[in-house]
Amino acid sequence: MSRWFRLTPLLLLAFSLLPARTARAQTAKPEAKQPPQARVVLYRIAPGKQLDFLKWMAETEAIDKEAGVPASQVYAHTNGDSWDYMQVAPDLSNEQQAKVDEIAKKRGRKTGFPASLEFRTFIAWHTDTFVIGPVTAANLVAAASK
């Protein structure tokens, strides 16, 4: 009997901690969601091709909208460095890109390498990079602290 008497407090303690652990597990924060990836592009337009470039970009926006992909954002340069336009575009999945290409073909637009060559008739140069965002500096500090 004395053996059970000594084990009783330990059993009670173990059972009292069990609900607390379960409650903590239920209230734990979900894992942080990764910010979306995007592509940032700077364009310098070839002389005399400004309007042609903008029309091409507008048609691209219409195709993207029809395909149901997130819209790109275009910024027009007004002062400073030598670029003309900056575009922030979502990083599309293979399935999304296939849908965009399908609609572009239906509209008589080139896709793949031929589209790349056509696009280069509008620009003098461009550069692009992949980024994550939008994020805040505080989000980046938190991610760096993990």
Q: What is the tally of structural domains in the chain?
A: 1
Q: Read off the pLDDT of each residue in 20-31 and give the average, rounded to a whole number.
A: 50
CA distances from 119 to 67, 71, 115, 124 (A): 20, 19, 6, 10
In a domain, 104, yes or no: yes
9 assigned to some structural domain? no
| Six token digits for residue 14 | 């173990």
Residue 98 resides in a domain: yes
The Cβ of residue 116 has, within 10 Å, a number of other Cβ atoms equal to: 10
Domain-located, residue 29 = no
Q: pTM here?
A: 0.72
Beta strands in 16-141 (DSSP E): 37-45, 73-76, 85-90, 123-132
Is residue 8's pLDDT more than 50? no
CA distance 97 to 36: 16
CB 103 within 8 A of CB 66: yes
Tokens 């734990």 appear where?
28
Flag whether 16 is in a domain: no
The answer to whether position 117 is within a domain reads yes
Domain extent at residue 41: 37-132
CATH of the domain at 81: 3.30.70.100
Distances from the Cα of 39 to the Cα of 15, 44, 56, 74, angstroms: 53, 17, 18, 12
Residue 25 within any structural domain of the chain: no
Alpha-carbon distance of 42 to 123, in angstroms, equals: 10
Chain segment 85-132, per-residue pLDDT in tens? 999 999 999 999 999 999 999 999 999 999 999 999 999 999 999 999
pLDDT of residue 15: 39
pLDDT in tens, 40-53: 999 999 999 999 99
Banded pLDDT at 28 (limits 50, 70, 90): low
Residue 65 predicted with pLDDT over 50 = yes
The strands making up 123-132's β-sheet, listed across from edge to edge, are 73-76, 85-90, 37-45, 123-132
Q: What percent of the chain has pLDDT over 70?
A: 78
